[in-house]
Chain A
């Protein structure tokens, strides 16, 4: 059931895909400049500036109410920004009605036309563009072939499963050869196994067709697997925009560190290049004053052998363990009462006192995040 696309059956006008994690230095395909949006008194987006490169897979990640869907709808043209502008290929995009934008959307609930067959759904954009019937037929066939749904071309959408509807929605959008494809949580309605499979397929499809994807999701794991870059949105503001590895290894804020993956937040005091948090202390580049650090559970390991000095070593008591398959998440308590989560290899019964250590470099200084206010509307 693999999605398959080649440059032949889905010719595009876009440049070859950039495989790097960072956008190319050339002018971006999509340029969002200082976009803000409010519904009445409810401010949904504040001062969003974001670029999408040609051929890039960008994920807008955020919890519900963060404004991610609103941002996508502004790019698609279903909502108008309250201020700011959006450019595509150097030209104003935000002044065009949605039907004149070379942007297509895969909707969260697919939004297939119930009165049209699968093939008619896929050919819809080509028919309204008044292309010659022969060309429409060829392109629809190729698009259906790409998502392996040729056998269902004469069936109405109500007769096919969610995963199949998802493929049709994808084919219906891509057949128009958009410059940019928007995907609004397209995998959220699928069950876990199918979702994981689709993540991989969607990513490889995107590589092959070379079209820029802007993918909206609340699932941080999904974002990590698929994206070239992740734009983390929180309460209408961009928290951090970076590649998955960078955003995981070098989170800029406490919120990012906690939202993406699991972390220990250590709040300490920095003095003369050394951070102190209760009985623990480690070297840091931060200036003197209060400091907040993120320390991933997997970066704390069982200490073996003699202390080298490069690692921070301490003793802690194991309180409880949670089985996660290949690993266990252990809750430990240091002598001074500091609670930490650590990730360790799976073992039946973790208990007692253990010697632990971590490298100073793994305690990443992060910006403090103010406490989350009541959420607005997504």
Chain B
């Protein structure tokens, strides 16, 4: 159809881009994960599996990884619990208000991540909005300190930030359900409740899987929320990677942890993709 030159002209730039800015750094990082650091803080370019061994041997690394996964899992569940009903309401019940509500869900995505994280800091802090309110109505006599600098604060903030990411694919999936299927279900005697569980929900599963993958993968790799709101008990694996590449100057170990996360995420993505395929019918 198109000339060779034309095809080359449009395919080469993106390939170069991917190679230079994605594959090359990853390859370099992959090499780093098999190198080590000398006592004089220099990278030793000799191959070793020590970094990966250390990851398994030192408790703090794999425990933090597990905790990060647990936090990500909670964020996923909460954002699904918030995002699904919201998407359902918008798609099936909102009527004329649909567009306005949709915009309201999307607008927070335009607000800087940092602003949203700091907003929670002012809400949850010991003299923050929430504590002041609780003391004002005499539900508590002194500020609750578990609100901020805890895994709770991290889960809350990440749920707030990533709910639109679960909402969007679920909303798209619901919007794609032909409305005559819903009518057919009612016509065949199914109540709205039965219709939801037998028709609407099964057909929205690809959206749910996509949304869950977004929320889990994005919050697993998050480091700003735990940095700003997590405190010592809310540290996540990315914070460790950041400090290994920064202050600790142990790039090889940082690279090894990064690669473990990358492998985990790729495994999750391929799992969710195959599940989505299984649940899509068009």
Binds A, one of B3-11, B135-143, B189-197, B231-239: B189-197
CB distance from A340 to the nearest CB of B (A): 46
Which residues between 96 and 149 of chain A lie within 8 Å of chain B, taking CB atoms? 97-100, 103-105, 107-109, 111-115, 124-125, 128-129
Whether B180 contacts A111 by the Cβ 8 Å rule is yes
Q: Is A172 an interface residue (CB 8 A)?
A: yes
Q: Is the interface of B mostly helix, strand, loop or mixed?
A: helix
Task: State how many angstroms separate the Cβ of A115 from the closest Cβ of chain B.
Answer: 5
Total contacting residues, chain A, CB less than 8 A: 27
Docked Cα-Cα span, A103 to B187, in Å, equals 7
Contact A99 B281 (CB under 8 A): no
**Those of B57-108 within 8 Å (CB) of chain A:** none
Q: Which residues of A contact B180 (CB under 8 A)?
A: 107-109, 111
Q: Are B190 and A111 in contact (CB under 8 A)?
A: no
- State whether A111 touches B203 (Cβ < 8 A): no
Does A76 interact with chain B (Cβ within 8 Å)? yes
Asked if residues B183 and A99 are in contact (CB atoms below 8 Å), the reply is no
Give Cα A114 to B281, complex, Å: 6
CB distance from A68 to the nearest CB of B (A): 17
Q: Chain B residues near A108 (CB, 8 Å)? A: 180
In chain B, positions 144-189 with a C-beta closer than 8 Å to chain A are 178, 180-181, 183-189
The answer to whether A176 and B186 have CB atoms under 8 Å apart is no
Known: A128-B194, A158-B281. A113 touches B184 (CB 8 A): yes
Q: Are A98 and B203 in contact (CB under 8 A)?
A: no
Q: When A78-B183, A107-B183, A158-B282 are in contact, do A113 and B189 touch as well, CB less than 8 Å?
A: no
Closest chain-A Cβ to B178's Cβ sits at a distance in Å of 7
Cβ-closest chain A residue relative to B279: A115
Contacts of B186 in A (CB 8 A): 77-78, 97-99
Chain B residues whose CB sits within 8 angstroms of the CB of A114 once the complex forms: 181, 203, 281-282
Collect the chain B residues with CB atoms within 8 Å of residue A196's CB: none
B25 on the interface (CB 8 Å rule)? no
Q: Is the CB of B203 within 8 A of A104?
A: no
Q: B205 to nearest A CB, angstroms?
A: 9
* B45 contact set on A, CB distance < 8 A: none
The answer on a CB contact under 8 Å between B281 and A107 is no
Residues of A within 8 Å of B199, CB to CB, are: 113, 115
State whether the Cβ of A156 lies closer than 8 Å to any Cβ in chain B: yes
Kindly report which residue of chain A lies nearest to residue B203, judged by CB atoms.
A115
Known: A107-B180, A111-B178, A111-B181. A125 touches B188 (CB 8 A): yes
List B contacts of A100 (CB < 8 A). Answer: 189
- Answer whether residue B198 sits at the interface, using C-beta atoms and an 8 A cutoff: yes
Report the bound CA distance from A53 to B154 in whole Å. Answer: 67
How far, in whole Å, are A370 and B199 apart by their CA atoms in the complex? Answer: 47
Residue of B nearest to A175 (CB): B188
26 contacts between A and B (CB under 8 A): A78-B186, A98-B183, A99-B186, A99-B189, A99-B190, A107-B180, A107-B183, A107-B184, A109-B180, A111-B178, A111-B180, A111-B181, A112-B184, A113-B184, A114-B181, A114-B203, A114-B281, A115-B279, A115-B281, A125-B188, A128-B188, A128-B191, A128-B198, A158-B282, A172-B188, A173-B187
Q: Please report B residues at the A interface, Cβ cutoff 8 Å.
A: 178, 180-181, 183-192, 194, 198-199, 202-203, 279, 281-282
